[in-house]
Structure formats: structure tokens, C-alpha cells
Structure 1
Amino acid sequence: MHYIKKISVLFILLPLLAFTGMHKFYVSTTEVNYDEKSQAVQVISRVFADDLEKTIDARYGIKSGLVTSREHPEADAYLEKYYALKLNIRVNGEKTKFNYLGKEFKDDMVVSYLEIPGTPLPSSIEIENKLLYETYPEQQNIVHIRSGDTRKSFLLRKDDDRCMLKFKRK
């Protein structure tokens, strides 16, 4: 009887164990917020450090060593260049250029800070997010856009990498 219980438990656990480690989940989160007080679009991007490092290293032929003691001295310049290529933001239909403010490492993620200063109150914000698709075609990029009380979240994929939020103003 005891032998049958062990076999039963094995048959229950075996299918569950077979799926662990089979497929890694690739995801980033980007928050886009319009701050009326400072008249700036503020962007916070969170990407898993190992995925971002692999992509930056392959694209630019470097060993970035992101957020390690061996970090490449120009790692921030490479990140800024990469974000400028892969994260496009349009405010009121106009392509914008952001300032790369820097990054920090939190919970296995690189958290990057970007800002578009001197932005009048937007009627729309459009995001094209192509982060990591060249390395991970199955990458999913979650985008949260907020201005005032209006907030919407989007799930972007390689074949659907744009989103837009239009704001109703009084």
C-alpha cells in the first residue's frame, strides 16, 4: 500500500516538474507618466538585468557587466543609445526625444529613468516598445500610461509593439 502511494505521488508530481525550467518568461514593464506640475513625461523602464545585458552585449559587441563591479565605463551611454532605438514616444502625434537620467539595480532588474521635459499637457501619448525583441522574439513588454486620473495598461509583443492613450480634457 505504501508503495502505491509513492507511485501515485510520483505520477502527480512528474508532469508538474516537467514544465519547470522548460521555458523562461521574458517580460519588461515601462511606466509612462505625465507630471503636470513639472510639465514632463516621466518614464521608468524595468528589464531583467541578464536579458538586457545579453542584448546590449550582442548589439554593441561589448561586455557591459551591467550593475556589477565590472560594469563597462560607458554602459550608460550604450543603454541610452539602445533605449533611443527601441523605445519611441510620441506626444500629441509628435516624436519626442528623451533625456536618459540613469539607472539602478533592484530585484534582478535594471530600472532605467527617462524624461521628456518641457511637454505641454498631452491629448495623446503613443508608445512603440521594441525592447529585447532581437534577442527574445517571445518577449512581452507591459506599458502603463498615466496622466492625471486617466490610466491604461497594454501588453505589447513583437508583432504588436505600439499602443496609444488619448486623454479627455475638460
Structure 2
Amino acid sequence: MHTLKKISVLALFLPLFAFVNAHKFYVSTSNVRYSEKEKAVQIISRVFADDLEKTIDQRYGIRSRLATPKEDPKADTYLERYYTDKFIVKVDGKTKKFRFIGKEYKEGMIVSYLEIPDTPLPSSLEIENRLLYETYPEQQNIVHIRAKNIRKSFLLLRDDDHCLLNL
């Protein structure tokens, strides 16, 4: 009889467990910071490794195998190309080219480091973040911008992929 109660309780809660992995959230986070000391715009972008790998592989027709021992030796080149196309930074209304400094893997995420050196203190920073929209239309990109003593966060969506911080 005791076993029957366990089975009944399990049968009651089993449907709830079925929905735990049924929906995946597609989100990235990018921190954009102006460093007065370095006179540079510094960017740290965090994207789920599996989502970025799928997008890079489809876009460039490769098997990047990101975050694995068999990672494509050109993975950084592909990531830099992708970021250049999909993550646009404007300083005082002018598009600036960034350097792809590198990446690391943390807890299922690819953390990419970008920098725009030799940048005087801007009066505005504008970000266009279109990462992963071609693969995941429901993708949400969170952008945190910090310069001077001003901090502002933005939620960017496929149809609203720009944000602007006036300093």
C-alpha cells in the first residue's frame, strides 16, 4: 500500500517535471563600459555556447565545435567576423571598429572580450545588437552600458535592436 501512495504522488507531479526543459530561453548579456583610465570602450559579451555554435556553423557552413577539445582552429576568426556583422558600436554617432581580444568558456557560456581603443570620452554610446536573431527569432539581448557615473540597461529584441546612452 505504501508503494501505491508513492506511485500516486509521482504520477501527480510527473507532468510538472515534463515542462522543466520544454522551453529554453534565448538570451545574451553584454556589458559595455567606457574606461576613462584606458581611454577605451570595453565590451564583455556572454552568449550560450550551444546557441552561438549553432548560429556560427549555419552562417559559415562549418563545424566549429566551440568549447570542445576539437574546436576549429579558426573559431576566433569566425567569432570576430560574426561580432563585426552583428554587434555594432557607435561612439558619438560614428561606427567604430573593435578589436576581438579573445574568448573564454564559463558555465556553458562563451564570454567574448572586445575593445575600441584610443577613444576620447564620448558624449553618446549607441549599440546595435543583432546576435543570434537569424537562428532564434525570440532571442533577447540585454545590454548594460556604463560611462562616467551613468549606468543604464536595455532589453533588445529582433524588432528593437538598438539602444542609445547620451552622456
Could you say which TM-score interval applies, normalised by the shorter chain?
over 0.9
Amino acid of the structure 1 residue aligned with 2:148: G
1:4, distance to aligned residue in structure 2 (A): 7.8
Divergent runs of 4+, >2 A: 1-11, 13-19
With structure 1 as the length reference, what TM-score do the two structures score? 0.91
Query: Quick check: 1:153 aligned with 2:153?
Result: yes
- Counterparts of 1:25 and 1:166, CA distance in 2: 30
Displacement of 1:130:
0.4
Q: Per the alignment, in what secondary structure is the counterpart of residue 51 of structure 1?
A: helix
| Counterpart for residue 106 of structure 1 | 106
Q: Secondary structure at the match of 1:115?
A: strand
Aligned to 2:122: 122
Match for residue 24 of structure 2? Answer: 24
TM-score by length of structure 2 reads 0.92
1:62-101 equivalences in 2 (<5 Å) = 62-101=62-101
CA distance in 1: counterparts of 2:67 and 2:83, whole angstroms:
17
Unaligned runs of 5+ residues in structure 1 are none
Give 1:55's aligned residue: 55
Q: Distance in 2 between matches of 1:108 and 1:9?
A: 31
Q: Does 1:140 align with 2:159?
A: no
SS at the partner of 1:85?
helix
Question: Unaligned stretches of 5+ in structure 2?
Answer: none
Number of residue pairs matched? 166
Q: CA deviation at 1:14?
A: 4.7
1:17 to partner: Cα distance: 2.4
**Structure 2 residue 44 is the aligned partner of structure 1 residue 38:** no
- CA displacement 1:34-53 (0-9 Å, x = unmatched): 00011100000000111101
